[in-house]
Structure formats: structure tokens, C-alpha cells
Chains A and B, each alone.
Chain A
Amino acid sequence: MNTNFIEFKNISKIFPGQQALKGVSFSIKKGEIHAILGENGAGKSTLLNILHGVFPPTSGEIFINGDLVSFSNPYDAIKSGVVKVHQEIILVPEMTVMDNIFLGFEETRLGLLDRRNLRVRTEVMLKSLGCTFSPDERVKDLNVGEKQMVQIAKALELKANIISFDEPTSSLTNKEVETLFRAISQLKQKGLTILFITHKLDEIYRICDRATILRDGEFITTYEVEDLPKEKLIKSMVGRDVAMFAKRHRDCCVDWQTVVLKVDKLSGARGFRDISFDLHKGEILGFYGLVGAKRTETMRAIFGADPRLSGSIEVFGKSVNINSPTDATDNRIGLVPENRKEQGFVKEMNNLDNISLASLKKFDRGLLQDNKRKWKNAELLGKVVGLTPNNPAFNTSSLSGGNQQKVIIAKWLSTDADILIFDEPTKGIDVGSKSEIYALMEELVHQGKSIIMISGELPEIIGMSDRVIVMHDGKIAAILNREEFDETTILAGAVGGRN
């Protein structure tokens, strides 16, 4: 057996402001299903992207079957038999299954598509994969699992010998997962080599032969999955430097007697179920989970941005009916969304208008707006959040990520919101601004506000939270008090490795 079918040698990747991979070396055997594991930001997707030619490594080499390869784009990789089944579907929705499979690689006879031949081939292929839909079905009418099967069929038709999956089950039903796993086992039988990124431990034990752990862009180890204890696996995913700079500087100020937000058995169409928790006055409640845990979806439903299926919400002991963000802001809830640029601010507007956007009503003076007061308010809040330079006339989009985040926080301070939901508040923000945002959050809870902080960064969650709720696969896996905080425990909940 060729032990080094795919060899990563010293792969490093530097993005502006961060090093995503640091000299990663390991190898993958021919014909195995190889899991790549790690926390958010461990470098898993970056590694796959390099393998598939999405971008080149900053340094390092990849060998496939002994040959040095460097694909300059995904199309090159596909031609050499290295195919990725995407997290986001990349098929053309309006075209049929068959046309999608052969798109870009159409076979023609006398310049025309040889449909009859292609159709027969597609049918055979779909049947062998255990698919029940016809080649003539339009892709837009298929569900997520079926779309993945189309991609697998396409990969096979392209004579792929390496297929990688990036969290293929994150939006599948149990039945679809079964079909997918059967198909993957079949690929293995055919001698294909499979790379498999996942956040779910049980999946690793079900189908993977070996697992490689990455942590903070570094290679940690490769395990044989058989007989590997779960605890050992989880431990090697964490265990980072203890030098955390995300930490609280002042005493805990939680008023445990006052529940400001009570969520009871909340379920939503976007995959989260039975979410119940209390948020107390002066508390920072951390929400940890890996990609696909549905933390953002849960918070959007609480904020009224997405519909909820069942469950109730109480604000300050009063049952409220939040069906839109307008209802949420009326109940003095604010949301600092994960995607600042797409959802957080209006890029055509300056700081003055972005800071005032959610609270324009209070500047009404008759039919017009009191612009002087609005300006003073923006200037004052800019100072409170530490905007530098603090100029309301500056265009928000021209500021650094940290300052943009401060503008969005100022927007909610302007509404006098009591409950603030921060979704990945320090994502893509430089180190200096990060600690400023942390200090600001601490200041806010000391002023009697309450914060829910979604974060995928363990140091941030552990350093900042009074309590942590761990989510896994749309459900609450654990609620931990500060004295129970421990990287291994939290991560175990997030990968579904408790119980």
C-alpha cells in the first residue's frame, strides 16, 4: 500500500493580519477516509482550499502519488482528479441533474450534445450511488442532500481519485446523512481517497479511518480512529497557550435575582430546537459552538429577524411577542450582527447617520429632525465607545474593522437597549481593538446592561463570560458556570462528545 498518497510538506499560509497555517506536514494514504479535525479557525478549510487550488500556499509543497502538484485554480485540480464537494452548493439551479453533471465537460457528436448517451450514463451512475431522483430533474427542485449526491456523481464522472468534503452533514436530515455515508463508503470501495472535515465526533467514528488534528494552524497529530478514546481526541483539539488576553478586569456584577430575558423551548425553521435559558442583569452570557451549531440562527429568531416555530420569550418578566426586529428594538434588545459589512451598517452613510439609525425617533422635532442634537449624541457615544478618530462626519466604511464595530455598538447605545446580542464581536478585528471591545463590554454590564455573546473562540468565551451555553447541532449541549469553565469540557459539548 502506498502510505503517502497525498503528502503535505511544510504548508504555511499567511493572510493579511494572520497566519492561517504554520508549516503543516502530514500524509494521507490511498483509499482511506481521512478526517481533518479542529476548532473554528484551526486552518482546516484553508488547507483544503490550498489542495484544491483556490489559493496557493505562502510556502510548502503538496505531493500526490509522488508528484509535486500546484494547481493554480480549482479547474486545474478537477482535471487532475481532485474534486471538492462544496459546503455551499455550486450547481446551476435551473439546469437538470444531467446537464449539471456534464457542465463544462460536455461530450458532443457532430457538434451537438450527445444527450442519449449522457442520459444512460447518468442513470447508471445515480443508481449506483443509491439516488432515487431522475437525471431530468432540475437541481433547484432537489434538497441539500440530493444536491450533494449530484456533486459526487459529477466528481465520479470526472474520474476523480481524491474527493474532499467540508462539513457535508451540517444541513442534512438523518436520512440524508445515511445516504451520503453509504455513497462515501462506496467511493472508498472504488479506491478513491476521501478527505473529510467535520465537527461531529460520531461521524468520525462511523466512517473515518484516520483523523488529523489541526490547532491554531499547526499540525498536532494523526490518529488511527479505531479504539481511539474520545477524551484523547478532544484534548488534542484544545490545549493552547494559557496566555489569554481576553479577560475580565473588574468584579462580577451579575444580579442573579433579575432575569432580563427568559427564553423557553424556542425552536425555529432554521434547525435549532428546544432552546431555553435565562439572561440576568449585568451578565455576559457566552454562546459557544462550532460551525453549524445554529447559534446565530437562534439569536436571529430571538431578535425577530427569522420566524420561530414554537417557544416563548419574556423580557423583564413580561411575555413579549417578537415577530420583527422592530418588535425587538421596541423591547430594547439590540443585535450586533456577525457580518458587519452586510448587516451591521450602511456603507454609504457616515458615522452620524449609522449611529443614529436605530434611534431616529428620539431626534424628531415636529416633522423634521434635530440635527444638532443628533450630532452631539453621535459625538458623545463615539467617545463612550472609544471611536478614534471620533468624527461623526467620517464615512463608516472607511474605518478599521474595530472602529466599525464600535459604531454599531454606539448605534445600540443610542437606543438605550438593555439587552445586547453580540454575534462574534471581535471577528476580523485587530488585537488592540479586541481588548477595547472587551473593556467596553465589561463597562456595559457594569452599567446594568446584559450581554449575550456568541463566539467561536474558546479563549474569548472563557475569558469574558459569566456563564457559557454550549450548543451542538441546534440544541443546547451544556450550560456551564464560571467555575466549571474548562476548554475540554466546553469543546466536548460542542462536538457532541458528552454523555
Chain B
Amino acid sequence: MNSMKFFKEYNREIGLVIALIFITVLFGSINPLYVSIGNITDIIDQTTIYGLMALGMTFIIIGGGIDLSVGSVLAFVGVIVANMLTAKIHPVICILAGIAIGFLVGSINGFFVAKMKLQPFVATLGSMSMLRGFAYVITKGFPIINLPSEYRKMVDGLVYGNIRASVIIFLLVAVICHIILKQTRFGNYVYAIGGNEESARLSGINVDRYKILIFALGVSTSALAAIVQVAKLGTGEASAGGGYELNAIAPVAIGGASMTGGRGGIIGTVLGALLFSGLKIGLIVIGVDPFWQYVATGAVIVIAAYGEKIQAQFSELRRRYAQSR
């Protein structure tokens, strides 16, 4: 691949790297603490939770859907895993069970969308509330504490220097997701269904089945995020992950995925997640009122979405130009 092609293919990712360097320099020059090892580790640690959720969300959004229930999945899977752990069940079994529950919840969301033909927004708005409710029913509102340190060490312990196991998990899952999206038949179907569902159907693809699978896989990474969250906090709480839908969707949007489906990628999402938490922490480090952080992150999402739109218009213009020749 020559360099021109590389720029064309990865222009969004390159833009994100530039933005990342820009905010690092900006925050670092205001407060040098921002570029300290400790702070950078913090940013990366923060990124793991949002990032894991956003990885799955990438599949769902490229596939033309949206899932609002992921924040509630964080709580629901979290309290179940925490409960299992306090019942002295082996941590590995607890982790596998947590992922399986996420897969199941996603399948049900997918079923609502694919088979019952509900709008993804509405279907997952419903499961968002139900799962949150279940989490409260299970815990009766009390946090589940006294989790085995063995589990916490396994999922979030330091493995090398400042690097935590959870970061390794995140990166590993990101690589797997990237390979699934780019190198497998399923990945091709995700793009096709999100890009033109009718065309995919008329190409003989069993669209309904793959939609269910997209949601199942997409929600599974949020279950994984729940597993990491429980290890980080040392508790399972029904109130965990409130408002995290935003945190899961924002990196995908910033990463350049089209909200109408068919376009996007894992590299963009990972960079988007880094940018997202880098911004959040940066605002704290330079002493911005925490309430303003919400305003700032919201603004970034709007700007990113606008950037995506401009880019789409630009490529449309280029297409017209190419056709007119």
C-alpha cells in the first residue's frame, strides 16, 4: 500500500491520533502532571471499562443498531458475578458465567430487534430499565462486598510494572474484535447488514440470525466490563454503570463509526475511547469544575459527529467528481 492510499484509508484514525497528541500537549502544558506516568496509567485504566463496552457497541452500531442497555448490563452482570463470588464459586467460573449472561441478554435484545421488528432504540430502552430493576431486586439495594482478593488480583492485579491485567484484557479483546470485524465472514456481514440490510437479505444472508448474533457479541463485552468493574471497585452494586450508555457510545461515535451503520472500525473506537477518557481526566487535572466535564464531553461528541458528516459529504463529492469524469 502506498502512502496516499494509507492516508485515504485511515484518515479518520490519523485525525484521532493528531487530536490525541493535541490534547496531551495542551493539558500537559497547562499542568505537567497530566503527562506523568501515574496519570497516563490512570487514563488507560479508565479507558478499559468504557473501552470494553465501546468495543461491543462498535459491532452493534456498524450493524445499524444501538444498545442503550449496556450500562444496566454493567450493574446486572456485576451483581450476579459478585454474588457468585461471595458464594465461594471459583472466579474463573464466575467470569465465564458473567460473559454467558451478557451473551444471553444481548441475544434477547437482538431477538426483539430482528424477530419482533422493534426499533433498537426502544427495545434496548426497555431492557435497560428491566435489567437495572433486576439488579436492584437481586441486591435489595445493598452493595455486595467482601469479594475474594484472589479474583481482584486475577482481573485487575498488576502484571508488569504499572500495567494491570484489565488493560491486557482490554487490548486482547480489542485485537480479537478487530480480527472478527475485518477478517471473518461474520465481520463482513456486520458491515453489509448495517450498510444495506435489504441488499444483504437479497444476497441470501440470514439477516435476522446475524442481527441477534451482533447484539449478543456486542453486549458480551459490556459483561466483560462488568467483570473488570467489580474487580476494580471490590463491590457489586445495582447502581453501577448509571449513564454509561453515553460512555459506550461516545468512543464509537468519536472513532468515526456511522450512526446509521455500515461504517466504522475497532482502531477508531480504541482511539476514541482513549481520547474520551484523556479528555475527562485532563479536565480534572487542569482544575475544571467537574460539572463542566459533562458539557465538554457532550460537545466533543457533537463535534465528532459533525466531523463524520462532513467527511461523508466530502467522499460523496469525490464520488460525484469521479463519476463525472
CB-nearest residue of chain B to A374: B188
| Most chain A C-beta atoms within 10 Å of own C-beta, residue among B199, B204, B206 | B204
Contact string, B156-183, partner A, CB cutoff 8 A, digits 1/0?
0000000000000000000000010001
Q: Which of A329-355 contact B (CB under 8 A)?
A: 329-330, 335, 337, 342-349, 353
Cα(A347)–Cα(B191), bound, Å: 10
Q: A346-B199, A349-B195, A397-B319 are in contact. Are A363 and B185 (CB under 8 A)?
A: yes
Please tell me if B196 contacts chain A, counting CB pairs below 8 Å: yes
- Residues on A with beta carbons closer than 8 Å to the beta carbon of B206: 324, 326
Give the contacting residue for B202; candidates A343, A361, A399; CB below 8 A.
Answer: A343
Decide if A371 touches B183 in the complex (CB within 8 Å).
yes
Q: A324-B206, A329-B203, A397-B319 are in contact. Are A343 and B198 (CB under 8 A)?
A: yes
Cα(A397)–Cα(B188), bound, Å: 17
Decide if A345 touches B199 in the complex (CB within 8 Å).
yes
Please tell me if A400 contacts chain B, counting CB pairs below 8 Å: yes
Cα(A326)–Cα(B191), bound, Å: 18
Decide if B202 touches A356 in the complex (CB within 8 Å).
no
Interface magnitude class on chain A: 35 or more
Decide if A348 touches B204 in the complex (CB within 8 Å).
no
Decide if A369 touches B188 in the complex (CB within 8 Å).
yes
Give the contacting residue for A328; candidates B179, B192, B199, B204; CB below 8 A.
Answer: B204
Give the contacting residue for A353; candidates B192, B258, B318, B323; CB below 8 A.
Answer: B192
Please tell me if B184 contacts chain A, counting CB pairs below 8 Å: yes
Q: How far is the CB of A335 from chain B (nearest CB, A)?
A: 6
Q: A330-B204, A346-B262, A397-B319 are in contact. Are A369 and B185 (CB under 8 A)?
A: yes
Cα(A330)–Cα(B205), bound, Å: 10
Please tell me if A291 contacts chain B, counting CB pairs below 8 Å: no
Give the contacting residue for A358; candidates B194, B195, B203; CB below 8 A.
Answer: B203
Decide if B319 touches A357 in the complex (CB within 8 Å).
no
Q: A361-B185, A367-B184, A368-B179 are in contact. Are A346 and B204 (CB under 8 A)?
A: no
Decide if A360 touches B188 in the complex (CB within 8 Å).
yes
Q: How far is the CB of A327 from chain B (nearest CB, A)?
A: 8
Decide if B202 touches A346 in the complex (CB within 8 Å).
no
Interface magnitude class on chain B: 20 to 34
Please tell me if B111 contacts chain A, counting CB pairs below 8 Å: no
Please tell me if A179 contacts chain B, counting CB pairs below 8 Å: no
Q: How far is the CB of A147 from chain B (nearest CB, A)?
A: 24
Q: Which of A273-315 contact B (CB under 8 A)?
A: 303, 305
Please tell me if A411 contacts chain B, counting CB pairs below 8 Å: yes
Decide if A325 touches B319 in the complex (CB within 8 Å).
no
Give the contacting residue for A357; candidates B179, B203, B263, B318; CB below 8 A.
Answer: B203
- Residues on A with beta carbons closer than 8 Å to the beta carbon of B262: 346-349
Please tell me if B4 contacts chain A, counting CB pairs below 8 Å: no
- Residues on A with beta carbons closer than 8 Å to the beta carbon of B195: 346-349
Please tell me if B322 contacts chain A, counting CB pairs below 8 Å: yes
Q: How far is the CB of A325 from chain B (nearest CB, A)?
A: 5
Cα(A346)–Cα(B201), bound, Å: 11
Decide if B200 touches A346 in the complex (CB within 8 Å).
yes
Decide if A335 touches B202 in the complex (CB within 8 Å).
yes
Contact string, B300-325, partner A, CB cutoff 8 A, digits 1/0?
00000000000000000011001100
Cα(A361)–Cα(B206), bound, Å: 13
Q: A367-B184, A368-B184, A369-B188 are in contact. Are A358 and B204 (CB under 8 A)?
A: yes
Decide if A345 touches B201 in the complex (CB within 8 Å).
no
Decide if B185 touches A348 in the complex (CB within 8 Å).
no
- Residues on B with beta carbons closer than 8 Å to the beta carbon of A347: 195-196, 262
Q: Which of A370-389 contact B (CB under 8 A)?
A: 371
Decide if A398 touches B189 in the complex (CB within 8 Å).
no
Please tell me if A395 contacts chain B, counting CB pairs below 8 Å: yes
Decide if B205 touches A326 in the complex (CB within 8 Å).
yes
CB-nearest residue of chain A to B263: A348
- Residues on A with beta carbons closer than 8 Å to the beta carbon of B319: 395, 397-398
Decide if B202 touches A353 in the complex (CB within 8 Å).
no
Decide if A346 touches B196 in the complex (CB within 8 Å).
yes
Give the contacting residue for B192; candidates A346, A364, A369, A415; CB below 8 A.
Answer: A346
- Residues on B with beta carbons closer than 8 Å to the beta carbon of A360: 185, 188-189
Q: How far is the CB of A277 from chain B (nearest CB, A)?
A: 22
Cα(A330)–Cα(B201), bound, Å: 13
Decide if B199 touches A344 in the complex (CB within 8 Å).
yes
CB-nearest residue of chain A to B188: A360
Cα(A342)–Cα(B202), bound, Å: 11
| Most chain B C-beta atoms within 10 Å of own C-beta, residue among A357, A363, A371 | A357
Decide if A348 touches B179 in the complex (CB within 8 Å).
no
Cα(A326)–Cα(B201), bound, Å: 8
Decide if A398 touches B185 in the complex (CB within 8 Å).
no
CB-nearest residue of chain A to B1: A393
Give the contacting residue for B184; candidates A337, A349, A369; CB below 8 A.
Answer: A369
Decide if B200 touches A369 in the complex (CB within 8 Å).
no
The 9 tightest CB contacts between A and B, nearest first, are A329-B204, A346-B195, A348-B262, A358-B203, A348-B195, A360-B185, A398-B319, A346-B196, A368-B183
A-B contact pairs, 30 of them (CB 8 A): A324-B206, A325-B202, A325-B205, A326-B204, A328-B204, A329-B204, A342-B199, A343-B199, A343-B202, A344-B202, A345-B199, A346-B195, A347-B196, A347-B262, A348-B195, A348-B263, A349-B262, A353-B192, A357-B188, A357-B192, A358-B203, A360-B188, A363-B185, A364-B185, A367-B184, A368-B184, A395-B319, A397-B319, A398-B323, A400-B323
16 more contacts with CB within 8 A, not counting A326-B204, A360-B189, are: A305-B201, A325-B204, A326-B205, A344-B199, A344-B202, A346-B191, A346-B195, A346-B196, A349-B191, A353-B191, A356-B188, A357-B199, A369-B183, A369-B185, A398-B319, A411-B203
